[in-house]
Amino acid sequence: MIWHTGHGLTVPGARGTRLPPPAGGCLAERMTTPHTTGQAPSAHREPTSTAQGPVTEERGLGPPGGSGRSLPRVSGQGPVTEERGLRPSGGSGGSLPRVSAADVGTVVTRHGIQTVEPLIRPYLRHTPAITVDRADFGLPPGPLVLKLEQLQHGGSFKARGAFANLLLRDMPAAGVVAASGGNHGAAVAFAARALGIPARIYVPHVSSPAKIARIRSYGADLVVAGDTYSDALAACQEWTAGSGALPIHAYDQAETMLGAGTLGMELAGQAPDATQVLASVGGGGLLAGVAAWYAGRVQVVGVEPEGAPTLTAAMRAGRPVDAEAGSVAVDSLAPRRVGELTFAIIRQNAAKVLLVDDEAIVATQQLLWETLRVVAEPGGCAALAALVSGRCEPAPGETVAVVISGANTTAVDFGPPAARPKPRDQGTGP
């Protein structure tokens, strides 16, 4: 059964915001410009290399048709020029095929993330990272850094990839379309509204009411289709074929990973002493982006539910394969398989994976609320569950950073407005 709601594609198709042309030719040359966050990420441009040579225009990444915000090829050969770097606009049109798993490692790099970050920064929150003692969670003492990304626009880290896609790729008049367990859909809907782009979002019936409510509130055309994310994706792809809309993949897209990588860039500045970074895994976009930023400098660990072991199955098979998709975190961490592109980046950057059961996830969700009054959805606190359950055991004194990736949940319900106590009138005294 398929049903939809929302305001339809009523937003004008023209882009609401245009990026200025690069100053001095190459955007990467402006990386020393101070950021609005007050953080000053490294401006060092690290070259990338590939055994297959530079990624050419024929093998680059870009949307079908038109000119403008495409993500051109990145090469480690010589200086980065406007023709061979990341740029927000300009250049001639043409249809460029999607980057392959063999090429994606030359695009999703520290340099690529550094280049994308100032483009999406004006639209994002610089989410805080707090340091607590692991003893607060009943563990042996030691520093624990929590990156509170659930405070991001849309309630999850997904806004980073959504804005990267919408700002780097050519936008057709028909707008954008996305399939999602809920968080990606909310992020695309939010970004589309901010930029004046029509959006249509497909979610499965298992998507939580909190996520559906967010998507509706952002004015996207919402379609609920199928029982799982894979079902919603199939319905999305069928509609996209005749719509002219640009699909925004939830994880298996270079722009999506580059956006997610900016979280790693922020976290590295906030927790410079961290030797391990834990992040939840569904399709692998968050883990791939974070792993690409750290590039082996620290141990990046993916955590996924035992009932949805997509990355674990891929690691064992040496390639993405179908896995079961059942978990308390089914609306955020249970696609049928990890992405082809995300898997290539994760394996290239030596990330590893741990499994946690649903009982540990739910217990951690409750513990996070009781200990810090932080609300997270099950998928958002799966990474922390690896610590709480003992699946990850850091050395004494070792600094571990954990991404709390989302909080689109009704786990804490304040009840309907009519049931809430009314504030006392001002100035009337006790």
The structural domains of the chain, with segments of one domain joined by +, span 129-156+253-404
DSSP one-letter string for 290-355: HHHHHTTSSEEEEEEETT--HHHHHHHHTS-------STTTTTS--SS--HHHHHHHHHTT-EEEE
Q: What is the pTM of this model?
A: 0.75
Distant-in-sequence, close-in-space partners of 308: CB < 8 Å, separation ≥ 6: 282, 323, 324, 325, 326, 327, 329, 330, 333, 334, 335
Rounded-to-integer distance, Cα 411 and Cα 117, Å: 32
d(CA 183, CA 205): 14
Beta bridge partners of 4: 223
Per-residue confidence (pLDDT) for residue 2, from 0 to 100: 40
Amino acid, res. 45: R
- As a whole number of angstroms, the distance between CA 232 and CA 237 comes to 9
Domain 129-156+253-404 belongs in CATH node 3.40.50.1100: yes
Q: For residue 161, what is the enclosing H or E element?
A: helix 158-168
> In a structure prediction context, what are the per-residue pLDDT tens digits for the chain, which is 430 residues long?
344 443 333 333 333 333 333 322 233 322 222 223 333 333 333 333 333 333 333 333 333 333 334 443 333 322 222 323 454 433 333 333 468 889 999 999 999 999 999 999 999 999 999 999 999 999 999 999 999 999 999 999 999 999 999 999 999 999 999 988 888 999 999 999 999 999 999 998 888 888 888 899 999 999 998 888 888 888 998 999 889 999 999 899 999 999 999 999 999 999 999 999 999 998 899 999 999 999 999 999 999 998 889 999 999 999 999 887 776 655 555 567 889 999 999 999 988 999 999 999 999 999 999 999 999 888 889 999 999 999 999 999 999 999 999 887 766 666 666 555 555 544 444 4
Q: At what angle do helices 183-195 and 209-217 cross, to 10 degrees?
A: 10
Helices 158-168, 110-120: inter-axial angle, 10-degree rounding = 90
With left for phi above 0 and alpha for psi between -120 and 50, is residue 356 left, alpha or beta?
beta
52: number of Cβ within 10 Å: 12
- Residue 273 structure tokens: 């002493």
Nearest to 146 by CA among 54, 271, 57: 271
**Nearest residue to 115 (alpha-carbon basis) of 18, 15, 41, 190:** 41
